[in-house]
Amino acid sequence: MKTTAPLLALLALSLCAARAEESVFFAFDDVAIPWRSNLKLTMATADKHPANPVLTRGPDGTPDHGHAIMYGSVLRVGGKFRMWYLGMSQTVIEKGQAPGYWRPMCYAESDDGVHWEKPELGLVEFNGAKKNNICLIESEVASLARVDDFLTVLHDAEEPDPAKRYKCAFIAHPPFEDVRGGRSQIGPDEKRWCSFICATSADGLKWKVVGDRPANAGGERFEVSGLYRFGGFYYASGQLIAPWQFRPDGGTLGRSMRVYRSADFAHWDQTTALGFARPGQLLAQPVAGQQTHMGAGVWNRGNVLLGIYGRWQDAPQPPPKGAKSHLLGTRVDLGFIVSNDGIHWREPAPDHKLIARGGDGEWDRISLLQAHAFANVGEQTFLWYSHWDCDGEFRSQDIGLATLRRDGFGFLSAIQADAPASCETSFFDSRKGAKIFVNADGVSADAPLKIDLLNEKLETTGTATVMKSGTRLEVLTVPEGRCAVRVSFGASASARLYALYLADQ
């Protein structure tokens, strides 16, 4: 590890890097592009980076010797990639928990998203010294500042108070006697409160817990995993399990995604919404062993939210008595979901694997964990994730990187190659001088895409023809007002549409 210059400058850089407002019409989003003719959706599977794992556990005696796990976030701020992840110094766990209910919030940074450094922050004493990469969390109640599990960091550029521009949520297990208001109100009487805690920071390194009690003050055993701001609210998504979570008909649901909301990040409404459950969980006869693990890692794209969730599958048989882990044989791949309101989520292609766990002998072969960790880098989309050894051996608890074509989660293409194909967006309100860009492949002079601008009477008010491929090709300037876009494929079998963008630049 090496010592870096003060990192407060990153905040100033981020405030100077405000991006023009943009709306994205993804091919997989049937709310943004509801009208389609002779088109099929093909979802992509991400490629794993050849340098994987890109961030590994530290040597003996370091905060992340036991594991470095992407229960965390990656943000690109001021040209620098910043990673918050969970460490653990021990190589064993105690009854499913980190020793002392503590997995320190660790920090790393990178210029390219592939090669990472762990700076010596000098903030928290560990093994008798402060030369480590642990972030400082302060609270009126010490046990509320002790991260036990999943943490998510949000950079809130719209926050007027510079001391609160970074926000985070994490899981803690404070004793009941440490929490004002006391014990769990429903469900079994546990020894500790599985709660979600919020904190704020000016620099992302030194944090202060918000308030003196958990955000889920009602007492549900909520395991937070995602934090995002959308449509005027802060949302915290995560996992609830029985007996706190139910099917709509009151039946047992198992692990599934629940959503809390707050208008100010300090006070959280105690009613919650069922955000997502795998289709097999909601059938009259549920698919055995199918669950939704830890909500979703979320990417806010302005007008739409993208998410990665854990496709949990129980082992075919319960583990034998005396097994090292009660989850022996459980396997998790990562799936893809989307939301247009921040509350309700859906799979564009049910049970599609966006990132599949590795095969026998590979470092990520057992189960995968999603993160709040996305970025568009040049012509690629970066997705960071982690391996989870739920078999209990703590093998290869490291962090990896997967990549796609830029915004290449899925594309529309013709079903019948010899017949015309087209799609139309929902109506949107455009700004004066805004432009339409297209992300498409397989396009040429022999296989063009025709782009029409439509008014509210579905009359064409502007036309352009795209005759080459690209991830961001400017095609039309849009007049101020309400309009939609039609994309015509002609009789082309090769053209693939990934996304349309409405942006100022």
Strand segments, DSSP code E, in 359-480 are: 367-369, 372-377, 380-388, 399-405, 410-414, 421-424, 428-430, 435-441, 449-454, 460-466, 470-477
The whole-angstrom distance between residue 465's C-alpha and the CA centroid of its chain comes to 35
In whole angstroms, give the CA distance from residue 31 to residue 23: 13
Report the Cα–Cα distance between both ends of the chain, in Å, rounded: 40
In whole angstroms, give the CA distance from residue 240 to residue 137: 25
- Three-state SS sequence of 174-235: CEHHHCCCCCCCCCCCCCECCEEEEEEECCCCEEEECCCCCCCCCCCCCEEEEEEEECCEEE
pLDDT of amino acid 2: 44
Mean pLDDT of 234-263: 90
pLDDT of amino acid 54: 98
Q: Measuring CA to CA, which residue among 413, 347, 342 is closest to residue 29?
A: 347
In whole angstroms, give the CA distance from residue 141 to residue 232: 30
pLDDT of amino acid 18: 34
Mean pLDDT of 356-366: 96
pLDDT of amino acid 261: 97
Percentage of the chain beyond pLDDT 70 is 90
**Does pLDDT of 449 surpass 60?**
yes
Which tokens hold the place of 171? 């899981």
pLDDT of amino acid 95: 57
Mean pLDDT of 174-185: 68
**Does pLDDT of 17 surpass 70?**
no
**Does pLDDT of 69 surpass 70?**
yes
DSSP string, 87-109: EES-S--BTTB-GGG---EEEEE
Mean pLDDT of 65-85: 94
pLDDT of amino acid 182: 55
Domain 19-42+411-503 has CATH 2.60.120.260: yes
294-353 tens-digit pLDDT: 999 999 999 999 999 999 999 999 999 888 888 999 999 999 999 999 999 999 999 999
Mean pLDDT of 272-292: 95
pLDDT of amino acid 356: 98
Q: List CB contacts of 350: < 8 A, sequence separation 6 or more.
A: 278, 279
The conformational region for residue 366 under phi > 0 = left, psi -120 to 50 = alpha, else beta, is alpha
Q: Indicate the pLDDT class of residue 246, thresholds 50, 70 and 90.
A: confident
pLDDT of amino acid 100: 61
Mean pLDDT of 61-72: 92
- Asked whether the beta carbons of 310 and 378 are under 8 A apart, the reply is no
188-222 tens-digit pLDDT: 555 667 889 999 999 999 999 999 888 886 667 78
User: How much is the mean pLDDT over the chain?
Assistant: 90
Mean pLDDT of 387-416: 93
pLDDT of amino acid 6: 36
The whole-angstrom distance between residue 135's C-alpha and the CA centroid of its chain comes to 21
Q: What kind of fold does domain 47-407 have according to CATH?
A: Tachylectin-2; Chain A (2.115.10)
Is it true that the peptide bond before 188 is cis, omega within 30 degrees of 0?
no
More confident residue, 300 or 242: 300
More confident residue, 434 or 189: 434
In whole angstroms, give the CA distance from residue 56 to residue 68: 6
Domain range annotation of the chain: 19-42+411-503, 47-407
